[in-house]
Structure 1
Amino acid sequence: MQASIEDWFRREILIHEAALVRFLSRNWFNQNDVQDIRHDIYVRVLEGAERQLPHSPRAFLFGVARHLLIDRVRRERIVAIDLLEDVDSLNVLIDEVSPERRATGREQVQRLSKLFDRLPPRCREVVWMKRVEGLSQKQIAERLGIAEATVERHLVRGIALLANALYGSGGHSSTKRVTDEPLIAVESRHGE
């Protein structure tokens, strides 16, 4: 049985190695890790194949790759702009991302970055600590020397400002719709 799995692996999986390496190179921030990740993927594929051979080996291979990358991001708490630009491609089992899709992703990241830079300083700081650094509200409050409730207000306000600037208010937000003017909030009930 072992020989048949090895034959299956050579015949059904190794033929996709170039596409797998391209996928990993596009979606992982540290190119030095690509070969190690490829090896880990092959180990997982073989372990899965020993239990049951997949009906679609290529889809199985790229599904394992996607899950392994997601696991590594969670484990290492990595938030790299390059990874965020191509995060949608982690959900697609294709060899290449079209130039149009790549350009659209970059434009969206640049737009979000510009809007983020226009947030009020304290909101920007709190949103960064929460969403990028992954700190809890308690940790942010301790670091900034403010109350947790204040952290929550800044977080809600910052995210609302970003969402409103990106998607519009829908008529019930406490923020002003933004185009090219600075990101400004209408006075909130809390005066912050």
Structure 2
Amino acid sequence: MTTPSDPQSADGQFQRHSGELLRFLTRQVKCAELAADLRQETWLRLRRREPGEEIGNLRAFLYRIARNLIIDHRRQQDARPAQEEISVELPSEQPGPERVASDAQRLEQLQDILQELPPHLRQALLWNRLEGLTQREIGERLGVSESMAGRYILKALERCQQLMDVSP
């Protein structure tokens, strides 16, 4: 038979009250990570008690430890000097307005170039790049061989590259 001071019994009871204790701590400190740390520290303090130390109501004992930890945490927070917030501007991963305008202009230019391509070249390129069709699938759709479909795609890419390089 286990007694309330038996470490195995205390561990089992701690596990039974663990979720409830975490919810209590989270409500008190308003931070899930800190609450989890305080719950862990509660368990450690329970395990560090003197062997043979009798605990009448383990649940109440756990809450007393948790409340003391909250008080200690708040005291530490109050003791820290107020730090001035330093504003550091980090470069944004979003493109700037100039880049957005430049990209929009290049997209419009590419659309114009695609419209100038012969229809079979344009269609082969769009099916390949936008829909991910293979050369075989494109050849079947256009009624040409697989290698001819590959040539259509290559020719369309070369023409687009050539016109994009020439345009301002």
TM-score by shorter chain over 0.5: no
TM-score range, shorter chain: 0.3 to 0.5
The TM-score with structure 1 as length reference comes to: 0.39
* Bigger Rg over Cα: 2
The TM-score with structure 2 as length reference comes to: 0.44
